[in-house]
Structure 1
Amino acid sequence: MIRNIAILLVFQLGGEMLARGAELSVPGPVIGLGALFVTLLVVPGLAERMRDTANGLLAHLSLLFVPAGVGVTAHLTTFAEAGLALAAALVGSTVLAILAGVGAFLLTARLTGADGDE
C-alpha cells in the first residue's frame, strides 16, 4: 500500500513540476492524474495492483472535505452578507450542470443512433 501511495505522489509531483516548469494554466495534480491514467491503460497490471489502495482512499474521501468545512466557518460573515446570492448561484449552477449533462447524453445518443431499447 505504501508503494502504491508513493506512485500516486510521484505522479502528482511530476504533474506539479511540469505545470510550474512550463508555466501551464492546468493544475499539476490534473496533469499527474492524466499521466497516471495513461500509464494505467498501458500497464494493466499496475491498475490491478493499485485497485485496493484506490478503493481505500475513495472510502475515506469525506475526510478531504474537512478543510473546506474549516474554510466555510472562517468566512461566516461572507455567508451572512451574501448567503442568498451564494445559494442561488449554487443551485443555479447545479441545475445548469445537470441540464448540460442531459443535453450531452441526448446529443450522443442521437449521433450514435441509440434509441434506448438495448
Structure 2
Amino acid sequence: MLKGIITLIFFQFIGECIAKLFDLLVPGPVIGMVLLLIFLIIRKASFSSLDNAVAIHLRYLPMLFIPAAMGIITQVDIISKEFWAITISLFAGTIIALAFCAKLMDYLTIRQENKK
C-alpha cells in the first residue's frame, strides 16, 4: 500500500510542478490525475498497492462534499440573485453533455462494429 500512496503523491507533485512551471489555471492535482491516467493506460494495468490506496481514499470521498455544501449555504444571497442564470446554465450544460455523450457512444459503437 505504501507504493500506491507514493505513486499518488508522486503524480500530484508532478502535476503541481507542471502547473506552477507553466503558470496554468488548471490545478496541479488535476494535471497529476491526467498523468496518472496516461501512465495506467500505457501500463495497461494497475497494481494492488495502488488499488488499496485508492480504495481507502474513496471511502472518505463524501467528506469532501461538506465544504461545498457549506459554501452553498453561506452564499445563499448571491445564488438567489443569480438563480435564473445558474438554472439555465445547468440545464443547458446537462443537455449539451447528454448530446455529446450520445453522439460519442454512437461513434464508438459503429467503430466497434466495423472492427468485427
> Is the shorter-chain TM-score for this pair beyond 0.5, marking a shared fold?
yes
What is the TM-score with the length of structure 1 in the denominator? 0.76
Gaps of 5+ in 1: none
1:42 aligns with 2:48: no
Q: Alignment RMSD, CA only?
A: 2.5
Determine the C-alpha separation between the residues in 1 that align with 2:86 and 2:70. Answer: 17
What is the TM-score with the length of structure 2 in the denominator? 0.77
Determine the C-alpha separation between the residues in 2 that align with 1:61 and 1:98. Answer: 25
Higher relative contact order, chain-length normalized (CA < 8 Å, sep 6+): 2
How far 1:36 sits from its partner (Å)? 2.2
Gaps of 5+ in 2: none
**Against the structure 1 CA distance between its residues 26 and 85, is the aligned structure 2 distance closer, same or farther, given a 3 Å change threshold?**
closer
What residue in structure 2 maps to residue 114 of structure 1?
113
**Against the structure 1 CA distance between its residues 64 and 2, is the aligned structure 2 distance closer, same or farther, given a 3 Å change threshold?**
farther
**Against the structure 1 CA distance between its residues 28 and 90, is the aligned structure 2 distance closer, same or farther, given a 3 Å change threshold?**
same
Determine the C-alpha separation between the residues in 1 that align with 2:108 and 2:43. Answer: 27
| Aligned-residue identity in percent | 26
What is the DSSP-based 3-state SS (H/G/I as helix, E as strand, rest coil) of the residue aligned with 2:79? helix
What residue in structure 2 maps to residue 105 of structure 1?
105
